[in-house]
Structure formats: structure tokens, C-alpha cells
């Protein structure tokens, strides 16, 4: 792949990633699927650090969807352990990098030790300001909207506007996604951040997530910088 020059004045403020292709990566090598997820966590580390370095303000990744519970128990257990290991082994970089950590999704049914780890890192990084790193765990775009509606009903609120509604989403205080990247060749949203994706630029690549590196990321960011965003208007 040819090297491309990144124009840091035209970066998206919020990048979201569907990290697809871990299983395929492992299968191609005759390895168990969990090896693919482990390698995926390594790729994620590099993308988080590079995003922070170049000045991306929000990075959201889809780590476990509300539909992923249907996977074999061994894989689900591993996907529940990985975020804890990730946070612990990258703790220094997160603190030093002034990165705020947030988790979105229905966390009550996550294992208790994972819930505690999430809370610890959310609390300890609450004042960090350079970049916000958001992990979607047991997250579904439809569930997010439904839980918001239910909370509005519980509070007896009968009339809302866009701004008010956003306050009830898991993604409260997080701006709309500018660029959505999905790896591994599938071209769909898969119930990710439905509300926040309304005007996002979409970027699909055949590269499997464990092989998605800085160079691939720069290519996506460069393509984004050349997109003509009109938000329903005309030029």
C-alpha cells in the first residue's frame, strides 16, 4: 500500500469502529477464535494510542453486542475477560495519555469483576481531557433508544426534542460519530450506535481487524478528509 499523507486539520472529531474479523483471522491460521480476539486487542491498543497521538477527541469501539451472548460460552467468557486485561495492561498509557475511559451498554448483566473494573477506570480517568475512549459492551443501538424512552416515561416526560432525548442515551455528552470504520468486508451497521450514526461517513475495508494498523487507519482518515459532508443541504 502506498504511503498517504495525513492532514491533521481535517480529522474527524469522533471515530467509531466495528472491529470485525478476529475469528476469520484465527481460522486462517488454524487457531482457536479467541486467539483472534487476543490479537484484536493488540490492534486496538495501537489504534487507541495513535488516535490520541494525532488528536482524535472521541474513539468508540464495539467490543460486545447485545447479540454476542449467543456465541459459545468459552468465547463469551473470553470476551468478558479481555476488556479487563486490556485496561490493566494499558493502564499506564491511558493515564499518561490523559485518556478518559467510558463504557456504554447495559452493564448490569456483565460479570461483577468486569463491572468493578469499568467503574474503577471510569472514576480514575474522569478528569482526563485529551481523548475519550469509549468501549461498547453489551451494547445495542435499539436497546439504547428503548432504555432512553423507558426512562423518559418513568420520569413522566411526555414531550422531548433531539437534544433532550440525547441526554437519556448511553452516549450522553458524546458528539455524533463523524467516521464509522468497519473491518473484514461486511457492509452493515449491526445495531451499533444507531442514533449517533445518522450523518456519519462510512468506511468499509476488507482488512481483518487484527491486521488493521496505523497505515490502514491513516488511509481511512485520509478518505474521510476528502468526503463532502452536506448534512442534507446543497453546495
Supply the residues annotated as catalytic.
20, 68
Q: Phi/psi zone of residue 83: left (φ > 0), alpha (ψ -120 to 50 degrees), beta?
A: alpha
SS3 61: strand
Nearest distance from residue 86's CB to ligand FPP, in Å?
3
In angstroms, the Cα distances linking 181 to 159, 176, 192 are: 34, 14, 11
Q: CB neighbours of 215 closer than 8 A, spacing ≥ 6?
A: 1, 3
Q: CB neighbours of 70 closer than 8 A, spacing ≥ 6?
A: none
Q: The C-alpha cell of 28 is what?
A: 486462517
Q: Closer CB to ligand FPP, residue 14 or residue 37?
A: 37
Q: Closer CB to ligand FPP, residue 43 or residue 177?
A: 43
Nearest distance from residue 168's CB to ligand FPP, in Å?
25
Q: Closer CB to ligand FPP, residue 136 or residue 221?
A: 136
Nearest distance from residue 75's CB to ligand FPP, in Å?
8
What is the C-alpha end-to-end distance of the chain, expressed in Å? 33
SS3 157: coil
- Compute the distance between CA of residue 139 and CA of residue 235 in angstroms, rounded to an integer: 36
Return residues touching ligand FPP (CB under 6 A). 19-24, 36-37, 40-41, 44, 63, 68, 79, 82-83, 86, 135, 184, 209
On whether the CB atoms of residues 199 and 12 are closer than 8 A, the answer is no
Q: Closer CB to ligand FPP, residue 79 or residue 148?
A: 79
Nearest distance from residue 12's CB to ligand FPP, in Å?
20
Amino acid at each position: 500500500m502506498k504511503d498517504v499523507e495525513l492532514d491533521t486539520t481535517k480529522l474527524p472529531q469522533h471515530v467509531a469502529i466495528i472491529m470485525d474479523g478476529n475469528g476469520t483471522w484465527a481460522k486462517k491460521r488454524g487457531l482457536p477464535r479467541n486467539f483472534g480476539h487476543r490479537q484484536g486487542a493488540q490492534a486496538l491498543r495501537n489504534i487507541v494510542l495513535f488516535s490520541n497521538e494525532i488528536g482524535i477527541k472521541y474513539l468508540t469501539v464495539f467490543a460486545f453486542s447485545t447479540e454476542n451472548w449467543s456465541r459459545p460460552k468459552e468465547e463469551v467468557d473470553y470476551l468478558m475477560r479481555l476488556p479487563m486485561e486490556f485496561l490493566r495492561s494499558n493502564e499506564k498509557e491511558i493515564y499518561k495519555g490523559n485518556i478518559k475511559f467510558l463504557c456504554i451498554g447495559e452493564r448490569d448483566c456483565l460479570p461483577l469483576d468486569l463491572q468493578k473494573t469499568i467503574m474503577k477506570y471510569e472514576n480514575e480517568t474522569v478528569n482526563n481531557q485529551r481523548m475519550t475512549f469509549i468501549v461498547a459492551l453489551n451494547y445495542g443501538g435499539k436497546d439504547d433508544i428503548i432504555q432512553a424512552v423507558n426512562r423518559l416515561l418513568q420520569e413522566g416526560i411526555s414531550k422531548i426534542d433531539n437534544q433532550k432525548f440525547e441526554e437519556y442515551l448511553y452516549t450522553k455528552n458524546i458528539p455524533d460519530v463523524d467516521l464509522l470504520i468497519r473491518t473484514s468486508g461486511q457492509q452493515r451497521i449491526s445495531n451499533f450506535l444507531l442514533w449517533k450514526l445518522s450523518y456519519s461517513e462510512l468506511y468499509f475495508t476488507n482488512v481483518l481487524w487484527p491486521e488493521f494498523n496505523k497505515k490502514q487507519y491513516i488511509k481511512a482518515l485520509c478518505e474521510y478528509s476528502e468526503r463532502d459532508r452536506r448534512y442534507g443541504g446543497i453546495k
